[in-house]
Chains A and B, each alone.
Chain A
Amino acid sequence: MKSIFTGGRRKVVAVMAIALVASLTQVTSSGAATPDTPKRGGNITVGIFDSFPGYCMADNLANSSLMGARTIYETWVEQRSDGKIVPYLLKSFEHSADNKTWLLTIRDGIKFHDGTPVDATALLLNIQALRGALWLNGKLGRSPASSGALGTAVGFTANIQDVVAVGAMSVQVTLYLPQSDYPESLYASGRFFARAPSQILGTTCSTKPVGTGAFKLVSTELTKLVVAANPDYWRKDAKGGKLPYLDGITFTFLPDAQPRVSGVKSGSLAATMFTSATEAKQIKDLQKNKSLTTIISPTDYYPTIWMNHKIAPFSSKNARLALSHALDREKWLKVRQKGLGMVPDSIVGPNNILYNKKGYAGFDLAKAKSFAAAYKVETGKDLEFSLPYVSASADATANAILIQQMCAAAGIKVNLLSQTTAEAIAKAFPMQYQMLPLLLMEGTGTSFALPFLVSDTSGGNPKHFITQIAAAVPAFKALPVYFGILNISSFKDTVSENLLFAARGESNLAKKKKLYQQATQQIQNEAHITNISMLAYSLSYKNLGGIGELPLAAGGQRRLVTNFGIDWTGVWSTK
């Protein structure tokens, strides 16, 4: 999760997932040609703009640090470049006709870095850990129990009614509401890793990541992750050779963009990542550099302006519409993002199945003024609110000031509220601000959008173990807050919720799309949320080969570059 005002330094909520129509066609690259002969060996350093807060279920690794973690970890399923979710550590997934029961079967012969097998026990523990069941076990003195904290994954996994092992290598997941795209939720935009049971159940869950990936942990600290090749890695290259090619990678946290730019230009860094939220200028500069290759993700990252429906002024629809119409998105794209990205005309981008322009309150100064005036008539007060922003960089501050100026033109007073990232997160879940710009939704599907748009991700399931324990034990009565904590605008719209849940259960893609788009229209009509930009992420590199070439285990190509960068398994150094 990242605020467009944070300078892109941290995500703290699990963010993202799925894709039905991811488009490689939007991935652009520039610069040097890639050598085509794999070369073994070498250690490289990669510059990133996020730190490493930890590796347990509640430690949300953001963007570029997620890229580092994904050298150690792999996911049960993976997303192809066409957006389709395919088995990865899983051999297969099958579902019942009603889309409520899913059988997940694990690929044979894969081992975690600690030598233990990837089997049904491991998958079961992983899912139960994400659901919060192992956390609760710990509180109740039961086993198995995890030492990790309860995280937002509880909200993402709340549709699970039950999960059981049905064999040595198979797990059956029963859902409360039908979900035809459940594997998207199992992927969670590359975040629901296969963690070894020893990590989940041990006391070093946050600091000692144990996965199945091509690289193993050497050392980790807040600002650096060092990994070395896993000699027992299960995948092979096209010629049956061992993977990975590189001996090791050091991911180093460089919060300022300048050292990353100079580092990759000079060769001190083999590669480095950027975000268009605050580093569009640097991305454009690197695109022009002929000695480098710069690849940019599709604009599939949707920072949202979350308006708190529980308190004034955004409990008023007039206020929400006034703000939505006051934002000059074209100017924003030109001034703040140097043209990199696109002007939003829906709460998500065109690649997302929710995308619908109908009802979207775009820039219209006259309407903004009119709704601000209507708000005054309604409440007797001028429209005024505080805009929290993380003053981590001059660009982040400039972003906030531009919104302030846009609102002023519409007669809306904005008080800038400088916050730390941690404060912003603490006050966002649950929401204590009047509004907050924050990147939560992304991708082409809905598993990483829908949980932010409904008031109860469990779908009101009375048999969910959290609901039941909350009813039975007073100490746990607040736990169900996790089902709605992701909807930080705190809106409850039964029309849009019913449409969203119906769409998620629908197998027919055309019908599904229509339902989702109706839900989007409803959300936009009510101006429950709005936005001002769409973001992309980039990776620039030099003297590297094999990027984007290694096919997935089940065939097909992975997405070339995302918010979590690239897959390093098949990459080699040409130096």
Chain B
Amino acid sequence: MEKLKFWLQRVAQLFVVLLLVTFGVSLLVRIIPVDLATIVMPVADENQRAAFRASIGLNKGPIGYYLQWLGNFVQGDLGKIYYSGGTETVSGHLIKAMPRSLLLMAYTQIFALGIAIPLGVLSAYRAGRRADRVISNTLFIFSSIPGFAIGLILIIVVGTKLAWLPTLGYATYSEGIWEHFKHMIMPVLSLSFGLISQYTRLLRADMIASLREDYVTMAMSKGLSDRRILWQHVFRPSSITLFTSAALSMGGLIGGAIVIESIFATYGVGFEIFAAIGGRQYIMLQSSVAVIALFYVFFNLVVDIGSGFVDPRTRDRRTNV
């Protein structure tokens, strides 16, 4: 019963966070110092603009506008993109963009974790020695280079000088698996370097702490191999922070990849947000941010649940609070 109560509270908290975030974003549309109707319908007459304002609730107060938008949002109506020739639905754009961003995010996480975990384990195992210093210093350098700079370097070297990989666009699986991955490699690398550094350091620190635990000394005294101790007895309890951080960064990656998606024109959510900002498509922006917030909250919840499974002590500690 206590556990159920805890989880209900947790979900309620996240729901409140979601409402606050979306309300805050909806205020953006209200506080911009121009009439949204003028922006989205520059060549319309006043009657058409008034009809537009009424259609999206701009003729109401901030709360009325928000409630109307929220009502539409939960029914799947995320609003429209307006241009002189007509409209396109925001949901139509996001339905196309979201899988691209999710794939980019998934590949980035898999790649980053795939590199960071062995590096973190090795670094912790060889803490203070040459291997650790080399890994730490190299990662420190990479972590200090922004992802977009790495992206640009990759474009110049790998894309244009060597012409090994395409520098922009997105290919679906139906266009060929290799074609798909060719388009993904550089964006994934650009997003990964910072994460690899972050994950490696987190894992290293936690593993060093775990290696000092009594049960490790006990395992060593029983004559277990270093590999077994590291991977079976130390890595699992030390990975909580790592996986929590990875899960939390997934929500952020969807929106945080704006620059990378723009540089590589992957037409994911980040690119859509970039285009929405440039085109002053505030409704697109508002709904996109809401969707990202939704993902962020979702992954947060997954982290909570997941960490409980990985380390039951976490779950118990929380429910006993």
Contacts and interface: CB of A to CB of B under 8 A. Distances in A.
Interface of A: 9, 12, 45, 51-56, 58-60, 149, 151, 206-207, 221-223, 252-256, 258-259, 262-263, 265-269, 392, 420-423, 425-426, 429
A266 B162 CA distance: 8
Contacts of A420: 34, 39, 280
Interface of B: 34, 38-40, 42-43, 81, 83-86, 88, 152, 155-156, 159-160, 163, 165-169, 262-265, 267, 274-275, 278-280
A166 to B, nearest CB: 33
Most chain A beta-carbon contacts within 10 A, residue among B88, B152, B160, B265: B265
A269 B166 CA distance: 9
A206 B84 CA distance: 8
Contact of B167 (A51, A253, A259, A429): A259
A268 B168 contact: yes
Contact of B42 (A222, A223, A267, A422): A422
Contacts of A59: 84-85
Contacts of A266: 155, 159-160, 163, 165-168
Interchain residue pairs A-B with the least CB separation, the first 3: A54-B85, A206-B85, A426-B42
A425 B86 CA distance: 17
6 contacts: A54-B83, A54-B86, A56-B85, A252-B169, A263-B169, A265-B159
Nearest to B160: A265
B179 to A, nearest CB: 12
Contacts of B169: 45, 252, 263, 268
B100 to A, nearest CB: 14
Contacts of B275: 223, 253, 255
A296 to B, nearest CB: 21
A425 B280 CA distance: 14
Contacts of A258: 152, 263
A9 to B, nearest CB: 7
A207 B85 contact: yes
Contacts of A423: 34, 38-39, 42
Contacts of A223: 267, 275
A259 B270 CA distance: 15
Contacts of A421: 279-280
Contacts of A268: 159, 166-169
Contact of B159 (A54, A55, A262): A262
A426 B280 contact: no
Contacts of A252: 169, 265
A422 B40 contact: yes
A477 to B, nearest CB: 14
Given A45-B169, A258-B263, A266-B160, 20 more contacts: A51-B279, A53-B84, A53-B85, A54-B85, A55-B85, A59-B84, A222-B83, A223-B267, A252-B169, A254-B168, A255-B278, A262-B156, A262-B160, A263-B169, A268-B168, A421-B280, A422-B280, A423-B34, A425-B42, A426-B42
Contacts of B156: 262
Contacts of B265: 252, 254, 259, 263
Given A55-B85, A59-B84, A263 B38 contact: no
A328 to B, nearest CB: 30
A52 B168 CA distance: 20
A54 B265 CA distance: 22
Nearest to B262: A256
Nearest to B40: A422
A206 B42 contact: no
Contacts of B165: 266
A223 B262 CA distance: 13
Nearest to B272: A223
B65 to A, nearest CB: 20
A259 B264 contact: yes
Given A256-B262, A262-B160, A420-B280, A60 B84 contact: yes
Contacts of B88: 221-222
A54 B156 CA distance: 35
A11 B43 CA distance: 13
A141 to B, nearest CB: 19
Nearest to B48: A149
A262 B167 contact: yes
A421 B152 CA distance: 28
A392 B278 contact: yes
A48 B155 CA distance: 19
